Structure 1
Amino acid sequence: MNRRNDQWSSPYLASGAYAAGVNFRHRFLHDTYQISGSLDRSMVQGSRAAILALQTDAVHYYQRPDATLPLDSNATALDGSAGELLFGKVAGRHLMFQTAYQRRSAGFEVNDLGYLRRADQQSWNTWVGFFDRHQRALYNSLQWNNNWWQYWTTMGLPLEAAYNTNLHITFRNNWSWNMGSTIGQLGTTYDDRGARGGPAIRQDPYVAPWLYVSGDDRRMVVPSLSVNY
């Protein structure tokens, strides 16, 4: 993107923003397993005021006192990178899983192209699912998911560590039972965005259970019950 700024817009808008990326995917062992990944690069150019505003906005927060990021008020460009590596079992009768690592550097910036909520983050996410799609004595189908995710800044500050499990059953009478719970902010984790550019804030653990029961959706009237905490 190239933008022709004038004296009124140059302190606020970048004059140029560029992004490029490559990705790959490979399936093997009869298309049962998959490995995929991507690598992206971004660069934004503009006046010193515009680039300083980018460095200190809510996507980047270079000014955080505990971030040790190179805030530069004289910079006229901001560049960064992002990448992801994913491995999973994408086919099978009962068991599938996926695990992925993703990293975005503090200077990664693509908001002239789309929408990026935050940079300066790395994450590890894992999902394991058990499926039974065959009709049994008590149910028509069953799915049980287990999820684990962790987030850090690129400097290693822990932001989140959480586990979730959820169960979904459709009974023989077509009523469904769905329930799950998340246990989050395990161990020592911090919110590095809550102070809006200030120091990171210690977070407390939480538990978030939920339940959803639904009647036979073939009927004219379908009862349902939803509870969450």
Structure 2
Amino acid sequence: MVSSVSGSPEAIALTQRSSTHYFQRPDRSATGEGLFDTRYDTTATSLQGYGLYTRVGKDAGGVLRWEAMANIRSPGFEVNDLSFLSRSDFKWFNGNIAGSWTVPTRWYRSIFASFGGATEYNYDGDRTWSQLQGFYGHEFQNYWNLRVIGIHNFISHDHRLTRGGPVVKRAGYDFGSVGISTDARSPAVFDVAVELGRGVGDDTRTFRLSPGMALKPASNIFIQLSPSYNRDEDAAQYVTAVDDPTAAAFSGNRYVFGYIKTRTVSLDTRVNWTFTPDLTLQLFAQPFIASGQYASFREFAAPRSISKLVYGADLGTISYDRATSSYRVDPDGPGPAAPFTFGNPDFTTASLRGTAVLRWEYRPGSTFYLVWTHERSDFDPVGSFDFAGAGRAIFRGRPTNVFQFKATYWLGR
């Protein structure tokens, strides 16, 4: 696929600097490539790029399975006018080999196991992703299912972490997940999954618990409840960037990061109710609460490094002003660097989103839809997790209600 966008120099420069591209990175080595020029050019009036996805594999026949995939987006690839593209500038390659046993025995009804690896490079040649992954799926004789996933991400470069700044190194990551679900044919199906993650090279941690149930109290009613609890700790969460001519290694900027602890609770609820073959009701609701608390603000010791220097411990001084809810950092103490301030990034957010869809087929092929969308939210600049308080805060927010009508009519013979 080839893309091309055009506009004023200001519009194209804004596109180049967007989070999809980050053409302004000071350490980019990309040069002109004719039609697919990858230089940051504030006078350009167009931007071209290309993308490619291909897969070859063996998906049936015998026990052995395999696949090889490639996914490429050039730095100038831009299709956000038509769809959603979060990033470009990557060449991703993935390969897996697997075994599939589908003839039931006394130990299983089926087994699927796979192992593979993936790697990714940007157009500067930096390896930005490298991992090994494995999967094991086991269906027991009673139709229960077991799922086990293991992933190891290696330490790699990251050209996006500083959000337009120089390349730094991202810590590796070990991830494991175990899930089990009961017989999907039953009127009550239960599922639970536990995920654990640990950083390699920093103190990043992840824990997620996702129980769930699907109920069929009657042949025409389906209810699904999917609660989730996440506890995450990230040692390199971007906070802000400030100008500092003394930060020569980072091209005159300081990129501030923080150690963040986040807690997230949500409950996805779905109900499908078929009153008659011609009249149905679908409901979806999601209460959501998340908090984030920052500490140990820091910066990378140097470009292309994984080491970080914590303000007040390894570098300069830091203080907090409660009256203004802001931090003041003097990055080199008595040195020439000017102090700077930034606001307290702690947060708690709570929201409730819901949708109801009533469908009535009033004659064959002709349908009437009534859709109601409800949303309300609340924000508090406090990072401590208070489930009860945040739950009550949901209903303090001003609701937004949107009603939509749609009707179709079949022009038949």
Q: TM-score range by the shorter chain?
A: 0.7 to 0.9
Structure 1 residue corresponding to 2:174, chosen from 179, 202, 207: 207
Match of 2:70?
101
- The offset of 1:224, in angstroms, is 3.7
Match of 1:41?
2
Match of 1:124?
93
Q: Does 1:162 align with 2:131?
A: yes
Moved over 6 A (4+): none
Q: Are 1:44 and 1:109, in contact at CA under 8 Å, matched by a contact in 2?
A: yes
Structure 1 residue corresponding to 2:15, chosen from 54, 60, 77: 54
Deviations 1:146-177 (A, max 9, x none): 23111110121111101111111111122221
What pairs up with 1:140-179 in 2 under 5 angstroms?
Answer: 140-179=109-148
Match of 1:90?
59
Q: Are 1:43 and 1:77, in contact at CA under 8 Å, matched by a contact in 2?
A: yes
Q: Counterpart of 2:169 in structure 1: which amino acid?
A: R
**TM-score, normalised on structure 2?**
0.44
Distance in 1 (alpha carbons) for counterparts of 2:187 and 2:114: 31
Residues paired across the two proteins, number: 188
Distance 1:97 1:202, change over 3 A: same
2:109 counterpart SS class: strand
Q: Are 1:208 and 1:228, in contact at CA under 8 Å, matched by a contact in 2?
A: yes
Distance 1:91 1:222, change over 3 A: closer
1:149 counterpart SS class: strand
Match of 2:290?
none
- The offset of 1:88, in angstroms, is 1.5
Deviations 1:84-104 (A, max 9, x none): 343222321211211122322
Which structure's residues are more often strand, by fraction?
Answer: 2
Unaligned runs of 5+ in 2: 31-38, 197-413
2:24 counterpart SS class: coil
Distance in 1 (alpha carbons) for counterparts of 2:47 and 2:191: 51
Q: Are 1:104 and 1:154, in contact at CA under 8 Å, matched by a contact in 2?
A: no
Which structure has the higher relative contact order (CA within 8 Å, separation 6+)?
1
Deviations 1:49-91 (A, max 9, x none): 0000011101110011122241111111111122234322232
Distance in 1 (alpha carbons) for counterparts of 2:116 and 2:175: 14
- The offset of 1:221, in angstroms, is 4.1
Distance 1:44 1:133, change over 3 A: same
Identical positions, percent: 29
- The offset of 1:223, in angstroms, is 4.3
- The offset of 1:218, in angstroms, is 3.5
Distance in 1 (alpha carbons) for counterparts of 2:112 and 2:17: 44
Match of 1:216?
183
Q: Are 1:145 and 1:165, in contact at CA under 8 Å, matched by a contact in 2?
A: yes
Match of 1:65?
26
Structure 2 residue corresponding to 1:194, chosen from 161, 164, 174: 161
Distance in 1 (alpha carbons) for counterparts of 2:105 and 2:85: 45
Larger radius of gyration: 2
